């Protein structure tokens, strides 16, 4: 049983094997074939989808006989042309007539490329190329096959939906609400600058690796140093991490022990000194 024409990798057009464009996988080889063919015909500059539309229209205008609109696009009739415009138009018309045969060949070559594209593209993609010139055909197909695949779009959309559902949790909503309130307060105190959305995003990204990455307020990029003096710095202990209660208790206990040791040492030393003094008096007496 012979394979259907759509299932074959190549299609015969005017006795020339042309690769079929049936899916994203076919796009690189198919586009390469169309580009090489157009370059051989000398008309790729009229087909290249990398050109802007203005660049394409400028190239396309070279294939048409010049008119008064060619030299002045704001002219309503030939009577609107100045002497310099007439001189320019005469020159363009002369060049066109001298190159008319070559331009006719280019137009025919462009029509051939148009038919190659139309004949080799699978039916499901004809909506992108119907009635269009090769430039617009290739531009539409390039957007279709060079962009993200439907599978990629569906995967990204699914992940986005999951994130939205996660963001609806009470903890996250409370975090965002309180964060915005804090930022607005800092703005009113002239302790913040920038946009809140950008500041929130940067803070979250900076802390994404581990809990220890959460930075104190004064290290946030959006935070503005209030310019406190050294004396006022004593009231900013809350910026840093508060010592643990067990550590404070241990320090207090150690201080008390040190105090007891110092008192007992000074008492013993004083008593010993008195004894030595009495002994010395006895010896001299």
pLDDT given for residue 71 in this prediction: 67
Is the distance from CB of 203 to CB of 195 less than 8 angstroms? no
What is the C-alpha separation between 99 and 107, in angstroms, rounded? 12
pLDDT given for residue 85 in this prediction: 75
| Nearest CA among 113, 116, 109 for reference residue 13 | 116
| Nearest CA among 20, 49, 43 for reference residue 33 | 20
- Backbone phi and psi for residue 18, each to the nearest 5 degrees, phi listed first: -120, 130
Q: What is the pLDDT along the chain (285 residues), one digit of tens a residue?
A: 334 444 444 555 556 677 889 988 899 999 999 999 999 999 999 999 999 999 998 888 888 777 766 767 766 777 777 778 777 777 877 777 777 788 888 999 999 999 889 889 988 888 888 888 999 999 999 988 887 877 888 888 888 888 888 888 888 888 888 988 988 888 888 888 888 888 888 777 776 655 545 677 777 878 887 665 444 444 444 444 444 444 444 455 555 544 444 444 344 444 444 544 444 444 444
| Nearest CA among 103, 65, 106, 70 for reference residue 88 | 70
pLDDT given for residue 16 in this prediction: 61
pLDDT given for residue 139 in this prediction: 94
pLDDT given for residue 110 in this prediction: 93
Q: How is residue 240 written in tokens?
A: 């840093």
Q: How is residue 269 written in tokens?
A: 């030393």
Q: How is residue 72 written in tokens?
A: 């002045």
């Amino acid at each position: 049983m012979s394979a259907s024409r759509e299932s074959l990798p190549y299609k015969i057009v005017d006795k020339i094997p042309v690769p079929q464009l049936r899916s994203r996988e076919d796009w690189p080889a198919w586009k390469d074939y169309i580009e090489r063919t157009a370059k051989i015909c000398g008309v790729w500059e009229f087909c290249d989808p990398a050109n802007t539309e203005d660049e394409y229209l400028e190239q396309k205008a070279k294939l048409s006989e010049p008119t008064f609109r060619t030299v002045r696009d704001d002219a309503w009739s030939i009577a609107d042309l100045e002497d310099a415009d007439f001189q320019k138009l005469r020159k363009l018309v002369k060049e066109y007539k001298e190159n008319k045969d070559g331009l006719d060949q280019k137009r025919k070559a462009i029509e051939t490329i148009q038919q190659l594209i139309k004949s080799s593209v699978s039916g499901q993609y004809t909506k992108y190329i119907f009635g269009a010139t090769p430039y617009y055909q290739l531009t539409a197909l390039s957007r279709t096959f060079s962009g993200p695949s439907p599978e990629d779009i569906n995967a990204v959309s699914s992940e986005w939906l999951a994130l939205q559902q996660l963001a609806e949790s009470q903890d996250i909503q409370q975090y965002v609400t309180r964060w915005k309130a804090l930022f607005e307060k800092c703005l009113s105190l002239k302790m913040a600058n920038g946009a809140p959305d950008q500041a929130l995003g940067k803070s979250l990204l900076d802390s994404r690796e581990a809990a220890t990455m959460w930075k104190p307020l004064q290290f946030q990029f959006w935070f503005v140093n209030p310019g406190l003096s050294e004396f006022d710095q004593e009231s900013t202990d809350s910026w840093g991490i508060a010592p643990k209660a067990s550590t404070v208790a241990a320090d207090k206990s150690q201080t008390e022990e040190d105090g007891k040791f110092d008192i007992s040492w000074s008492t013993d030393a004083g008593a010993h000194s008195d004894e030595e003094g009495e002994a010395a008096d006895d010896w001299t007496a």
